[in-house]
Structure 1
Amino acid sequence: MSPPTAPPGWSRWLVPPAALSVHLSIGQAYAWSVFKPPLESALGLSGTQSALPFQLGIVMLGLSAAFGGTLVERNGPRWAMTVALCCFSSGFLLSALGAATEQYWLIVLGYGFVGGIGLGIGYISPVSTLIKWFPDRPGMATGIAIMGFGGGALIASPWSAQMLESFGADSGGIALAFLVHGLSYAVFMALGVLLVRVPGTDAGARGGVESAATAAGARTTPTGPQVTAKQAIRTPQFWCLWIVLCMNVTAGIGILEKAAPMIMDFFAETETTVSATAAAGFVALLSAANMAGRIGWSSTSDLIGRKNIYRFYLGVGALMYASIALFGDSSKPLFILCALVILSFYGGGFATIPAYLKDLFGSHQVGAIHGRLLTAWSTAGVLGPLIVNWIADRQEEAGKTGASLYGLSFGIMIGLLVVGFVANELVRPVHPRHYIPAPRQEAVDVERQQPESA
């Protein structure tokens, strides 16, 4: 499916809303913890078991982004958004069938496997397009779109909680909630499919660009040193960033996946217990922080640099985890504040990484390189929930309760953030031997000046 080229007078500011329609939808994944307690009760699952759809979804996100990144670059954002729509919506419909028949494997297959493919393709679908439209502010541009993924739970969390309250928290109510999600998101994502455009090769097609200089800089032809996706994965810089992203994501997702039951556990033995409704509100707050971090911190990276902002994410993030581990159960505001900061860094890390990749490898195949890097998210999607859920289950079996369920896992998270900090310090400019040779670069430039037809 070939995306239409923007006509003369087209404003580049229409592209972020197209991306947002997809990212706000697939960002529902961050509200999965709202479904965990009802599923555990209705189907007799443990905390580790109820995390499986989410974990598999994140694994498939990274794998589909890695293997589909080149296809997204070749076929364009409209094709990618259409694939994402079909997979993500179908995943909910399969999950609805699984809940209705109390066949948990169908929920894992639908939400985790099929829906996870939609997550991955949908996540990377607008990235390279946005960087081409906004080469002057890549961090801000990708942050605007990717903040939608972080903000999806801000809508989905209270919406899901309300549906479960209205439909019932049994298997039938869960099935109906999944069905409504699948149909609603299909309609909303279709708006992005219809709206998205790729930039033309002339500055005249760039209506809404503030100046002629900016217009000239925003052409689709890449400038400066360029590295192919195949060559990028052979560089130490790629693998340093892989570790950085994996550690940052593991630390954030460890809280996010278990957010609702975690805050209830932390204050279960105090006078200020947390209800299920309040816990869903906490999930929504985390989503807001995730979303704000994606636009706020990624825009800041345009000013202070990518390495410096990751130093901030990883260093301060470790301090926030230490604060929760030491004092979180004695102060609800402190627990919430530290969790919000950690989730803002989690979101900011995602939004900043495409610009970091562009800085190092150029814009030629940044979407494909980004897709390959998201295998770090797949790893973290298993690692983070596994650490928190498995340790909490073992601690509960040992007779521990409340905040003591999480002390060991939070210590592990601090160590992982330190590992990520060191990896970020090792990032250096890419050696020229990895660049596309000059004659080939000229051929690439000529090719990319042709109208996109794939």
Structure 2
Amino acid sequence: MSSITEPGGNARSPSFFSKQATIAQPGFSRWMVPPAALAVHLCIGQAYAFSVFNGPLTKVIGISQSAPDDWSLTTLGWIFSLAIVFLGLSAAFAGKWLEKVGPRRTMFTAACCFGGGFIVSAIGVWTHQIVLLYLGYGVIGGIGLGLGYVSPVSTLIRWFPDRRGMATGMAIMGFGGGAMIAAPLSVALMNHFKSATSIGVAETFVVLGIAYFISMSIGALAIRIPRADWKPAGWTPPVETKQKMITRNHVHIDQALKTPQFYLIWLVLFLNVTAGIGILGQASVMIQESFKNTVSAAAAAGFVGLLSLFNMGGRFVWASASDYVGRKNTYYIFFALGAVLYWLVPTFASAGNIAFFVLCYCVILSMYGGGFSTVPAYLADMFGTAFVGGIHGRLLTAWAAAGVAGPVLVNYIRAYQVANGVAKADAYTMTVHIMTVLLVIGFICNLLVKHVHEKHHMTEAQLAAGN
């Protein structure tokens, strides 16, 4: 391991959490890195399961039923909203810091924030102070979510230049699947700790906070970065051509914001996520209203679970496929196929064809998940790998914006139509047609993505200096 020379000329070993200390020694297997990333992403994926706490949190005082002083669902709804906002903000603003200090320090900081956020929230439940839940899970936990989400990405891309999509898809699949572990685990813990004087939420928060801190810390300790000159055995970097939009140059994180490519890919992610996230949030109600008296609440819950599986699986399958068909072509498929499927959904609903209705939405949600996992590799292809983690962090503001736009489109358009006499079964038709238009616009944005102009490329001296 190389040493650091101090101003006085004395050499000292790098600190354990420094970027230098994580440089892999010869013989290190790159296949050790995806499990380290999964150790983080499976934990922070708990965010998708936070809704299991909403009902119990409305009965913290009443225990068996809500008391007058208990929190309302509208009050509790801000916890998750704050977490997503701070996920986007921390991912955007900590990108430069991530590239400077490396993944280990960033992932450990994420572990402290995410685990610590649960502990602060537990105190908030015990003292019945909603502001502590906003601060704990919303702000501190949200920062942990953002740092944990982006920290392994650039490392995986550098270890797998030959399989960028597969590598990032593996980790981000963990974020999509984390809720499948967290939801039943949280319910089981609450039932275990429930008593005549406690609903069991605070104790569950403490256990989860400690467990997630340990798991994420293990991931931080296991992570390694390759040497600057490392490449897979027998692999030759691809020649940059118009057909293969994979650059061999690098663009600085600040310079990337001056390119049209960044904003076009921002719109590509925004439009793809907007088209999926609103439906994901209303899936249960939507299928019951579309097939009134045919689909039960239990069947609707099964539909939601199926969508979650396709959301998770799509993150790995589509990202892996992009290694062969190309990132730009993968997004062409997302937008073209998605637009066709959205247009067909009302036809299947009016015909009472539940099977094709479900199939359409399963494919759509697989592409929603695939959009998240494919975009880091798309960015690496366009801007190089030197600052891809920070660039990806800033691009995730598109997720935050889509998290507002998608549900607003679905909920408010539906409410407007129902208020004006449209049957609930038909109230989603206009919405899905609007989604179709958004996907067509996304197709055009993707079409406009070209190579980054050479004036934005970093020189060898800038790369060596790291700025």
What TM-score bracket applies, with the shorter chain setting the length? 0.7 to 0.9
Match of 2:171 in 1: 145
Contact 2:114 2:143 in 1 (8 A): yes
Tell me which residue corresponds to 1:130.
156
Aligned partner of residue 172 in structure 1, secondary structure: coil
Contact 1:58 1:116 in 2 (8 A): yes
- Which whole-Å CA distance do the structure 2 matches of 1:258 and 1:307 have between them? 29
Q: Classify 1:320/1:215 alpha carbon distance in 2 versus 1 (closer, same or farther; 3 Å).
A: closer
* Structure 1 position 265, deviation (Å): 5.4
Question: Higher helix fraction: Structure 1 or Structure 2?
Answer: 1
- Aligned counterpart, 1:8: 26
- TM-score (norm. length: structure 1): 0.84
Equivalent of 1:320 in 322, 341, 353: 341
Q: Distance in 1 between matches of 2:406 and 2:363?
A: 17
How far, CA to CA, are the matches of 1:443 and 1:22 in structure 2? 34
Offset at 1:312? Answer: 1.0
* Matched residue count: 431
Bigger Cα Rg: 2
Q: Secondary structure at the match of 1:427?
A: coil
Spell out, residue by residue over 1:380-438, the C-alpha distance to the aligned partner (whole angstroms, 9 max, x if none): 122223333445566677788854564444343333222222211111111222222xx
Note if 1:25 corresponds to 2:49: no
Shift of residue 39 of structure 1?
A: 5.3
Cα distance in 1 between the residues matched to 2:348 and 2:194: 36
Distance 1:75 1:126 in 2: 13
Deviation at 1:159, TM superposition (A): 3.0
Tell me the residue number matched to 2:143.
117
How big is the shift at 1:328?
A: 4.1
| Structure 2: unaligned runs, 5 residues or longer | 1-16, 60-65, 240-245
Whether the aligned pair in 2 keeps the contact of 1:301 and 1:309 (CA below 8 Å) is: yes
Contact 1:100 1:171 in 2 (8 A): no
8 A contact 2:23–2:227 mirrored in 1? yes
In 2, Cα distance between equivalents of 1:88 and 1:342: 30
The 1:236–1:223 alpha-carbon spacing in structure 2 relative to 1, beyond 3 Å, is closer
**Among candidates 69, 78, 81, match of residue 107 of structure 2:** 81
1:425 has 2:447 as partner:
yes
Mapping 1:22-421, distance limit 5 Å: 22-36=40-54, 42=66, 45=72, 51-163=77-189, 172-201=199-228, 203=230, 209=232, 211-213=233-235, 224-260=248-284, 262-263=286-287, 269-275=292-298, 281-328=302-349, 330-391=352-413, 403=425, 406-421=428-443
Q: Is it true that 1:443 corresponds to 2:467 in the alignment?
A: no
Q: By how many angstroms is 1:353 displaced?
A: 0.8
Q: Secondary structure at the match of 1:227?
A: coil
Q: Give me the identity figure in percent.
A: 52
1 CA distance for matches of 2:122 and 2:410? Answer: 27
Q: 1:114-165 CA distances to partner (integer Å, 9 max, x unpaired)?
A: 2211111111101111111111221111111111111112222333444556
Are the aligned partners of 2:103 and 2:223 in contact in 1 as well (CA < 8 Å)? yes
Query: Structure 1 unaligned runs (5+)?
Result: 449-454
Q: In 1, Cα distance between the equivalents of 2:153 and 2:124?
A: 33
SS at match of 2:22: coil
Work out the CA distance in 1 between the residues paired with 2:77 and 2:357.
Answer: 23
Q: 1:320 & 1:115 partners in 2: Cα distance?
A: 36
Pair 418,91 (structure 1): closer, same or farther in 2 beyond 3 Å: farther
Q: Which residue of 1 aligns with 2:14?
A: none
Q: Which amino acid aligns with 2:333?
A: F
Q: Measured at CA, do residues 156 and 319 of structure 1 come closer, stay the same or move farther in structure 2, by a change above 3 Å?
A: farther
Counterpart in the other structure of 1:452:
none
